[in-house]
Amino acid sequence: MQLEILTPEHKVFSGNVYGIQLPGTNGSFEVLDNHAAMIAALGKGKMKVLVDKHNTDVYEISAGFVEVLNNKTSVLIEDATALA
């Protein structure tokens, strides 16, 4: 799945991933390869980029939106801070 994570200031991540876990406004959810098309609002919380089945990148994010379409996921957020 192609993933792009953007803030107004810069591109946080761009590349192929296994999946992503996101903090939705009504609870967290996960998007994997070949997910159905959707648009969802995001709340404040932890976003986990599943780079592959063994490696993850974790970010603390503020509000935003996610769009999934044709096996491409675009995450538009106000801010992202990488966590160790």
Taking residue 64's Cβ as centre, other Cβ atoms within 10 Å add up to: 22
The per-residue pLDDT for range 4-20, each reduced to its tens digit, is 999 999 999 999 999 99
Domain of 43, in residue numbers: 2-83
The per-residue pLDDT for range 17-67, each reduced to its tens digit, is 999 999 999 999 999 999 999 999 999 999 999 999 899 999 999 999 999
What are the structure tokens assigned to 68, written together? 């999934």
Using CB atoms within 10 A of its CB, is residue 6 exposed (0-12), middle (13-18) or buried (19+)? Answer: middle
CATH of the domain at 58: 2.60.15.10
pLDDT of residue 84 exceeding 70 = no
Spatial distance between the Cα atoms of 57 and 20, rounded to a whole number of angstroms: 10
- Give how many domains the chain has, as a whole number: 1
pLDDT of residue 19: 97
Q: Determine the 3-state secondary structure of 9 from DSSP.
A: coil
What are the structure tokens assigned to 53, written together? 């089945």
Residue 80 — pLDDT band, cuts 50, 70, 90?
very high
